[in-house]
């Protein structure tokens, strides 16, 4: 698994520094209303990934890197009073926004934490989702192992990324944002899922419909990469 970054990868900056850079970027985005921009910009692909989890009433759900918490509110609706919908994000401003927008929902919880650190019980979740997050984590392989540990046997993880090797237009993003990102191919994502104990049940590029009056871009030609894994018993 040489192209999947792991804890032993020495090429990147120390983990705490990497988290601090990412935190600064997304605290600023939250302040400038870009969390809601992501909610609408990611919504098409996020909804498809979320639906692949096939959550039912009473299930426990987790969003890793939840931003303003929009999928946690979707899950809150689906899992009902017996279930639980949880979001983790390392940006305090994103978590503050998520809590404001979710006020009054009794089955919702948000944690400010830098995944894979978290206060959550292992084996508790029927569905875990993550949209546009995992490539920021310095140790991709370790994060996937932790996600597998958090899932119940048969539970699903739906992961959507726009920064991946086959999406050439995304390759400038680390320089554009000034943060390190791990560039994985579709095959490397599949391999990393399998290595973590998640059987890949689907991998697809989700191409967005063209909005009226707009020119097609990478969202229409290449699309967001969705990988869905199921925890082996
Ligand atoms: C591009 S945004 C996507 C937010 C949300 N998933 C969405 O679709 O709008 C990436 C999010 O991941 C969070 N993030 C990055 N690294 C993280 C980590 N190690 N643990 C938890 N959250 C992280 C950021 O703070 C940010 O809110």
pLDDT band at 67 (very low <50, low <70, confident <90, very high): very high
Residue ranges per structural domain of the chain: 15-231
Per-residue pLDDT for 10 more than 80? no
For the CA of 131, the closest atom of ligand 1 is 6
What lies within 8 Å, CB to CB, of 5 at 6+ separation is: 11, 12, 138, 139, 140, 141, 182
Lowest pLDDT segment from 145-149, 159-163, 198-202, 210-214: 210-214
SS3 letters across 148-187? HHHEEEEEEEEEEECCCCCCHHHCCHHHHHCCCCCCCCHH
Query: Tokens for 209?
Result: 């419909």
Model confidence over 69-116: pLDDT tens digits?
999 999 999 999 999 999 999 999 999 999 999 999 999 999 999 999
Model confidence over 192-207: pLDDT tens digits?
999 999 999 999 999 9
**Closest residue CA from atom 27 of ligand 1:** 67
Compute the distance from residue 35 Cα to the ligand 1 centre, in Å: 10
Ligand 1, CB cutoff 6 Å, lining residues: 19, 22, 26, 38-39, 42, 46, 65-67, 88-91, 94, 114-115, 131-133, 136-137
Third-level CATH fold of 15-231: Rossmann fold (3.40.50)
pTM of the model: 0.96
Angstrom distance (rounded) from CA 210 to CA 13: 38
For the CA of 23, the closest atom of ligand 1 is 25
Angstrom distance (rounded) from CA 184 to CA 85: 29
Compute the distance from residue 230 Cα to the ligand 1 centre, in Å: 22
């Amino acid at each position: 698994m040489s192209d999947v970054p792991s804890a032993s990868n020495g090429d990147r900056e120390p983990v705490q520094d990497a988290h601090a850079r990412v935190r600064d970027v997304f605290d600023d985005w939250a302040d400038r209303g870009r969390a809601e921009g992501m909610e609408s910009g990611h919504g098409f692909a996020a909804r498809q990934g979320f639906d692949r989890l096939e959550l039912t009433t009473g299930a426990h759900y987790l969003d890793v890197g939840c931003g303003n918490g929009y999928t946690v509110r979707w899950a809150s609706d689906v899992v009902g009073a017996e279930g639980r919908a949880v979001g983790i994000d390392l940006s305090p401003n994103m978590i503050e926004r998520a809590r404001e927008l979710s006020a009054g929902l009794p089955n919702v919880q948000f944690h400010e934490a830098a995944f894979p650190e978290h206060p959550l019980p292992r084996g508790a979740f029927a569905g875990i989702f993550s949209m546009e997050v995992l490539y920021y984590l310095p140790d991709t392989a370790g994060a996937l192992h932790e996600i597998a540990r958090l899932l119940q046997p048969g539970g699903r993880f739906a992961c959507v990324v726009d920064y991946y090797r086959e999406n050439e237009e995304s390759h400038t993003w680390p320089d554009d944002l000034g943060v390190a990102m791990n560039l994985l191919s579709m095959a490397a994502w599949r391999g990393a899922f399998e290595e973590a104990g998640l059987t890949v049940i689907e991998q697809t590029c989700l191409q967005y419909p063209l909005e009226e009056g707009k020119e097609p871009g990478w969202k229409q030609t290449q699309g967001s990469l969705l990988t869905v894994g199921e925890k082996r018993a």
